[in-house]
Amino acid sequence: MKDVCARLVLHNGPVTVGDAAWFPGTGRNRAAGRPERRRRQHRTGPRAWVRTCDDWILVNTFFRSAPVPGDAHPDRPTLDDPAPVSGGAAVRRRPRWAVPVAIAGAFVTVVTTGAFVYAGSRATVALDVDGVTTTVTTGADDVAGLLEAQGIEVGDRDLVAPDLSAPVEEGEDVVVRTAREVTVQDGDDTRDVWTTELDADRTLAALEAREDTSLALVASRSQADGRVELPVVLDESAPVEVVADGDATVVDDGAVDVDEALADADVAVDDDDRVTVERDEKDAATPVEVVVQRVETSTETSTAPVAHGTTTVKDADRYTDEGSVVTTAGKDGVKTTTSEVTRVDGKVESSTPVSSEVTTAPVDEVVTVGTKARPAATPASNEALGRQMAASRGWGGSQAQCLDSLWTRESGWDHRAANPSSGAYGIPQALPGSKMGAAGGDWQTNPETQIAWGLDYIASVYGTPCGAWGHSQSVGWY
């Protein structure tokens, strides 16, 4: 039986325990208000009914008693010496038996005829459970028995000193530290670890010393009421600092949990906010900081251009030497994306697309190119083209005749005519010929480009072909 409270040595005569009397060798026992009980006599020794705090317990005495080591008291009766009994008579002792009796945590006095009782070993220790110390007097043989008697359960990760199997010594300290699981943040990574430290300051100090890097503890949320939680208090030996919304508030009592520190600093947090506990060993006054990061999540839309393409169309009625022309202008489209955006203290931390679609389709550019081969130009074809282009300006009849006379004398309607002395070039004999580049990049080879430039020049300087022809006749040039 555990928690032995007394040892009972039995001899001749009835043994009285509380209101019970047992008569050796008879198997009878009488108790006030209880019926007589009969039990078989065990061959190994007598037995007794013992009244404990809770109930009657039948104790069988299987072991013959021998002197208890270290129990040498000259005034205590032994097997060899007679002991005083009721009435002062000396009685020779029969062999005796030690009977362990469980008395539910209390010592009792047993009055016997031919028997005596002596108290078991007791020790007074300081029991420190997670920083709360109480003085305990115990009869447990080892630390495990002490903790069990106190109703303290110890887990595999918990710290107990001395060891559970160590004997309980008078005046010693017995320390129990409950292991708690905390979440540690290392940069962007988090992991769960176990600690037996009492506060966040010492937990971080131990972890950072072991890993040689700065770490933080991540506060969680209670599923019951949403409170901010950390399995340990913040700092048992110093004030703490609460940092939120750009302000720092000192909480004088650091031996509080994180939720109390936030309340003392008048800082409210919502379900999305993040709360971490950090340690700055350079700040001796408030080495522990509770850092609150405001987290906002919103649904936002953004637009991006969708590049248009280019389509080439062939035109059989357009001459190949006329080059390409854009017949439809291209226009970029618009793509609209909806995203879940997370901002931490106002800065975008992440943006996760939820949907994306083209809300305005792009319009492709259409480029037309000619496939018709232009017939080889001749002075005659150039003259016919010139008359046609002049007529479109309203210069027919005499004006067409003046134009024909003017350019026949200048170049003979040859679009490759070049004056070696002056450098004039082409049908209108532009000086220099590069002037005709204003009408087209193909001014050196295209009669139409040369004629268009020449007609523009005549109109701007002389008004009409006949005006230019008259000037040429009077001075020899126009």
Q: At what angle do helices 447-461 and 379-391 cross, to 10 degrees?
A: 50
Q: Is the pLDDT of residue 358 over 60?
A: yes
Please tell me whether residues 149 and 207 are part of one structural domain: no
**Does residue 267 lie in a domain region?**
yes
Distance CA 124, CA 171 (A): 6
Q: Confidence class of residue 38 from pLDDT cuts 50, 70 and 90?
A: very low
**Does residue 223 lie in a domain region?**
yes
Q: How large is the average pLDDT for residues 126-146?
A: 95
Please tell me whether residues 406 and 432 are part of one structural domain: yes
pLDDT of residue 323: 85
CATH code, 364? 2.20.230.10
pTM metric for this prediction: 0.52
By DSSP bridging, strand 111-112 and strand 180-186 are unpaired
Distance CA 132, CA 243 (A): 30
Domain span at 459: 379-475
State whether the Cα torsion 374-380-386-387 is positive or negative. Answer: negative
Please tell me whether residues 10 and 115 are part of one structural domain: yes
Please tell me whether residues 390 and 469 are part of one structural domain: yes
Domain count, the chain: 5
Domain boundary among 352, 372, 392: 372
According to DSSP, the residues that pair with 17 across neighbouring strands are 20
Which two three-digit tokens encode residue 355? Answer: 């949907």
Q: Quick one: what percent of the chain has pLDDT higher than 90?
A: 68
Q: How large is the average pLDDT for residues 302-311?
A: 96
Q: Which of 422, 420, 408, 419 is nearest to 454 (CA)?
A: 408
Which two three-digit tokens encode residue 449? Answer: 């480009």
pLDDT in tens, 24-35: 333 333 333 333
Please tell me whether residues 187 and 271 are part of one structural domain: yes
Please tell me whether residues 393 and 465 are part of one structural domain: yes
pLDDT in tens, 428-458: 999 999 999 999 999 999 999 999 999 999 9
Q: Is the pLDDT of residue 374 over 60?
A: yes
Please tell me whether residues 256 and 312 are part of one structural domain: no
**Does residue 1 lie in a domain region?**
no
Please tell me whether residues 289 and 303 are part of one structural domain: no
pLDDT in tens, 186-242: 998 999 999 999 999 999 999 999 999 999 999 998 877 888 999 999 999 999 999
**Does residue 131 lie in a domain region?**
yes
Please tell me whether residues 14 and 107 are part of one structural domain: yes
Distance CA 180, CA 193 (A): 8
pLDDT of residue 29: 39
Please tell me whether residues 312 and 365 are part of one structural domain: yes
